[in-house]
Amino acid sequence: MLAAMGATAAGLPLPALAQGTGRVLVLGGGFAGATVARTVKAAEPRLKVSLVETNPTFTACPMSNLVIGGWRELSAQQFGYERIRASGIEVAFATATSVDADARRVKLDSGATLAYDRLVVAPGVEINWQGLPGYDEAAAEIMPHAWKAGAQTLLLRRQLEAMEDGGLVVISVPANPFRCPPGPYERASLIANYLKARKPKSKVIILDAKDAFSKQRLFQEAWRQLYPEHLEWVALSNGGKVTSVEPGQLRLTTEFQEYRAAVANVIPPQRAGRLAELAGIADQTGWCPIDPVTFESRRVPHVHVVGDATIAGGMPKSAFSANAQAKVCAAAIVRLLAGEAPARPKLINTCYSLVAPDYGISVAGVYEPVNGVLSEVAGAGGVSPAAAPRAERAAEAAYAEGWFNTITAEVFG
Amino acid sequence: MSRTRVLVVAGLLLTPGAAASAEPPPGAASCSGCHPVGANANTPVPRLLGRGAGELTAAMEAFKSGQKPSTVMGRIAKGFTAPEIAAIAEWYAAQH
């Protein structure tokens, strides 16, 4: 059974390379890609592992909503690749320009060509610039998305700081799927917290293309307690879906009305990052179907996909999921290169959100492959309890920061 | 803990060269998302490496039953069977 699954996953009879030989090439050095590279190298140091990443500095998204409100500096989100290189991984700061899946070769903009036995593509997400009329790259300089941490995060922070008291902050949220499902609501919470303390005549309004969202009851209960005057959520069924934007006017148009913002944070529709298109691993949805045992692409053999770009069944697009998937993918690759059948995995996700800097809530899930799909184990998982004492919310806020420190140490430290 | 050991542990928590036999059992690799494996992470979440298998199993079973209060561990422990918990506990106990 397992051997049959392995052969199917590989798309070929298992090629038994000599133990410990083989080349694993990873494109994309975020939580997913960097974790695969390190995990493969640690598991089987004789494998040649290469990591190709465009940016020499990684800027993490989790916790970056604290940067927007001024509680945290962007530098606390940034990590280099020195330790990854020191662990025996060949790191190239370059951009892939073509993937030849038949010849198993990748060309880089540096002119180099890298051959692989197993390719791992960890493309993250990219903005779908055709997804919202009026929202293009120039518009993002006026109405920042701040959905990739870095300059956009700082732009939104500066806009908030420069806003006069009494201004309206508008956050536009897309339909599923997108990176970090609870992220927009954490952001709205922390912006409301900032406004309440610093610009109390102001307000943040969420225009949502959905009627339901992650940790919804917990967020809404906390909003009633903490931000009754400073945060409003407009659901899809109340006309919340933004259908177009006019950056010059700071105007957002929904199915029902127009909103003029003092600060507009447009979180636009997304799809798998450009590497997915380059490798031919995205389907018509814009995301990448995978085998849940090996994270091998359903479309291109010998190419694995991990992280936000995947269609991962019940698993959300989170850094925790990306890291957990990457470890499973790495173990499968080590086995496949040794001519062994991959083991059936089990994965965990845990996502923390901050409703205030000292008020954390979480969602957790346990996942396993069922009929080819990563499915949530029944009876497990779920969100933090309603009506928990404030000390428990404070503990979860501390766990959120601890989680960030741990995962970034594991991946980049 | 030597630098080498920290780096090894920071990956799949495997002993070099002993790939398949030392591979973590289902679910175990996810734990290090929160439970630190290196020496340098600042977190209130306890380390698992090198703890006794009996201690880890008892803790997981108590989280699962609700006997041991928790924020998130009860929700996670409910996703694992007794044999899965035992395998994870034994594997962590052996990584010291």
CA A353 – CA A383 distance, rounded (Å):
11
Query: Which pLDDT value is given to residue A327?
Result: 98
For residue B32, being part of any structural domain is answered with no
Query: Which pLDDT value is given to residue B11?
Result: 40
* Location of structure tokens 């913002």: A261
Can you give the CATH number for the domain in which B62 is found? 1.10.760.10
Residues in chain B within 8 Å Cβ distance of A403: 33-34, 43, 45
Residue A157 φ/ψ region, left for φ over 0, alpha for ψ in the -120 to 50 degree band, beta for the rest: alpha
The reply to whether ipTM tops 0.95 is no
For residue B5, being part of any structural domain is answered with no
Compare CB distances from A346 to B7, B16, B27 and report the shortest one's residue: B27
Residues of chain A predicted below pLDDT 50: 1-14
CA nearest to A206, candidates A183, A229, A185, A228: A185
Say which amino acid occupies A227.
Y
CA nearest to A413, candidates A158, A78, A130, A180: A78
By DSSP bridging, strand A96-100 and strand A303-305 are: unpaired
For residue B73, being part of any structural domain is answered with yes
B38–A409 C-beta distance less than 8 A: yes
Task: Give the minimum alpha-carbon distance from B77 to chain A in angstroms, rounded to a whole number.
Answer: 7
B76–A410 C-beta distance less than 8 A: no
A381–B33 C-beta distance less than 8 A: no
pTM for the model? 0.93
For residue B61, being part of any structural domain is answered with yes
pLDDT above 90 as % of chain A:
95
CA nearest to A308, candidates A68, A56, A127: A127
For residue B57, being part of any structural domain is answered with yes
Query: Which pLDDT value is given to residue A412?
Result: 97
For residue B88, being part of any structural domain is answered with yes
Query: Which pLDDT value is given to residue B16?
Result: 36
Residues contacting A172, CB < 8 A, separation 6+: A132, A207, A242, A245, A252, A264, A265, A266, A267, A268
For residue B85, being part of any structural domain is answered with yes
pLDDT in tens, A55-89: 999 999 999 999 999 999 999 999 999 999 999 99
Domain count, chain B: 1
Chain B: residues touching A (Cβ < 8 Å) = 7-14, 16-17, 19-20, 23-24, 26-27, 29-38, 40-45, 71-72, 75-80, 84
For residue B28, being part of any structural domain is answered with no
Query: Which pLDDT value is given to residue B50?
Result: 85
pLDDT in tens, A233-274: 999 999 999 999 999 999 999 989 999 999 999 999 999 999
CA nearest to B65, candidates B56, B76, B74, B73: B74
Nearest chain A residue to B46 by CA: give it: A402
Find out whether B49 and B92 touch, Cβ atoms under 8 Å: yes
Range of the domain at B91: 52-96
B36–A406 C-beta distance less than 8 A: yes
